[in-house]
Chains A and B, each alone.
Chain A
Amino acid sequence: MIRSEILKDIAPILRDQLVVCNIGIPSQELHAIDDQPTNFYMLGTMGLCSSIGLGLALAQPKTVISIDGDGSVLTNLGTLPTIGNNAPSNYILMIIDNGSYGSTGDQPTYTGKKTDLAGMARAAGCDTVIEVQDVDTGPALQAAIDSKKATVLVVKCDSGNAKMPVITLDPVVIKHRFMEAVKA
């Protein structure tokens, strides 16, 4: 499965949660599949999806799911120790690991070679790290939500992107409706 197929699969689960979605095609895919005010779309700033989600989870009690990518986590590896030492029970980092930089032409990342993100997350102090194959994402994500434990979920899948339109929502509109949904 490719990322967009996983997102279609888990859209009914994501709909009820606060979601911070990674820059580029991941946000475009989620926006096209199931736009919700509870989705915060990153329009720029590669690497900070996990950090924004962690700050949000620390600031309020609702469950937060950061949908990140392998390339973006690699560009902000300092996030893993911060998560490992601070993540509250309402935080889930879901890394869709397709071993490639999807938004820039599917160039390979090191996670498709020798680098093991789940192992790095464990070494960084993350207590609950689960690695699953694409087809098992839905049940694994629901279990992580139900567990009420800070979780890093690494989803191994194929490289590839769905053709989706660029998000034209104004960033201030994305922020405003998201903050209203957080408060609701």
Chain B
Amino acid sequence: MNIDKKIADDLVANDISFVTTVPCKQLAGVIEEIDTRDDIMHVPSNKEDEGMGLCAGAFMGGKRPAIIMQNTAIGVTINTLATLTQFYRLPLPMIISYRGELREPVACQVEMAVHTKALLAQLNIPTYHFHWQKDVEEFDNILKYTFMCNKPVAILTDANFWGGYGDQ
């Protein structure tokens, strides 16, 4: 299964037409795939809270948004998640590379990984963890759930899911 293609297919099937990204090596393939889709407007952002602002505006303008980012950015987006996305009840699928998990080669990444689920739980953000490639089969349901409940929803995707980190 090509998980990059499956993720992009599910985004399009769920009418998600605005995607913002801050890249991660693990996410390079899915970002490349999104750029091939005419149905998706891709606007890269410089920081993840900025991206969440873009998504809020896009949603109010009638487009379903999504953000693709690293888990390290949970540390810089808590205020935005609480006071914008949650306070105004805006739906936002967050496709997050879960750095610092199994098969991670960079020790510093583990320092945010150990806080990631705790921070998401503290924020009462529904959180799903993709560890095996077959877990992506749930993605379509998660997108439907997100736009049903008007909440930010986190999909953590670790190195094992992506088939390892580079040469590791």
Residues of A within 8 A of B (CB): 20, 40, 42-45, 47-60, 64, 76, 78-79, 81-82, 86, 171-172, 174-175, 178-179, 182-183
- Kindly count the residue-residue contacts between A and B in the assembled complex, taking CB atoms under 8 Å apart: 118
Determine if B62 and A183 form an interchain contact, defined as CB atoms under 8 angstroms apart.
yes
Query: Interface centre among B47, B51, B61, B79, by most A CB within 10 Å?
Result: B61
Residues of B within 8 A of A (CB): 18, 41, 43-47, 49-63, 65, 79-80, 82-84, 87-90
With beta carbons under 8 angstroms apart, the residue of B46, B54, B80, B87 that contacts A55 is B54
With beta carbons under 8 angstroms apart, the residue of B47, B83, B90 that contacts A175 is B90
Contacts of B46 in A (CB 8 A): 78-79, 81-82
Contacts of A171 in B (CB 8 A): 87-89
A58 to chain B, nearest CB (A): 6
Contacts of B52 in A (CB 8 A): 48, 51
| Cα–Cα distance between A54 and B46 once the two chains are bound (Å) | 14
| Cα–Cα distance between A49 and B131 once the two chains are bound (Å) | 36
Sample of 9 A–B contacts (CB below 8 Å): A45-B53, A47-B50, A50-B53, A58-B54, A82-B50, A86-B43, A175-B60, A175-B88, A175-B89
Determine if B80 and A174 form an interchain contact, defined as CB atoms under 8 angstroms apart.
no
Contacts of A40 in B (CB 8 A): 60
| Cα–Cα distance between A44 and B85 once the two chains are bound (Å) | 11
| Cα–Cα distance between A43 and B90 once the two chains are bound (Å) | 14
| Cα–Cα distance between A78 and B55 once the two chains are bound (Å) | 15
| Cα–Cα distance between A147 and B95 once the two chains are bound (Å) | 38
Determine if B58 and A56 form an interchain contact, defined as CB atoms under 8 angstroms apart.
yes
Contacts of A56 in B (CB 8 A): 57-58, 60-61
- Considering the complex, give the chain B residue whose CB is closest to the CB of A76: B50
Contacts of A174 in B (CB 8 A): 88
B150 to chain A, nearest CB (A): 9
Given contacts A44-B79, A44-B83, A55-B56, contact A82 B49 (CB under 8 A): no
B80 to chain A, nearest CB (A): 5
B68 to chain A, nearest CB (A): 15
Contacts of B58 in A (CB 8 A): 55-56, 58-59
| Cα–Cα distance between A52 and B85 once the two chains are bound (Å) | 11
- Considering the complex, give the chain B residue whose CB is closest to the CB of A53: B57
Determine if B65 and A55 form an interchain contact, defined as CB atoms under 8 angstroms apart.
yes
A33 to chain B, nearest CB (A): 22
| Cα–Cα distance between A55 and B59 once the two chains are bound (Å) | 8
- Considering the complex, give the chain A residue whose CB is closest to the CB of B82: A44
Determine if B18 and A55 form an interchain contact, defined as CB atoms under 8 angstroms apart.
yes
Determine if B80 and A48 form an interchain contact, defined as CB atoms under 8 angstroms apart.
yes
Contacts of B18 in A (CB 8 A): 55, 58-59
B54 to chain A, nearest CB (A): 4
| Cα–Cα distance between A98 and B108 once the two chains are bound (Å) | 41
| Cα–Cα distance between A86 and B114 once the two chains are bound (Å) | 36
Contacts of B79 in A (CB 8 A): 44-45
| Cα–Cα distance between A42 and B43 once the two chains are bound (Å) | 22
With beta carbons under 8 angstroms apart, the residue of B62, B82, B87, B89 that contacts A60 is B62
Query: Interface centre among A55, A59, A182, by most B CB within 10 Å?
Result: A55
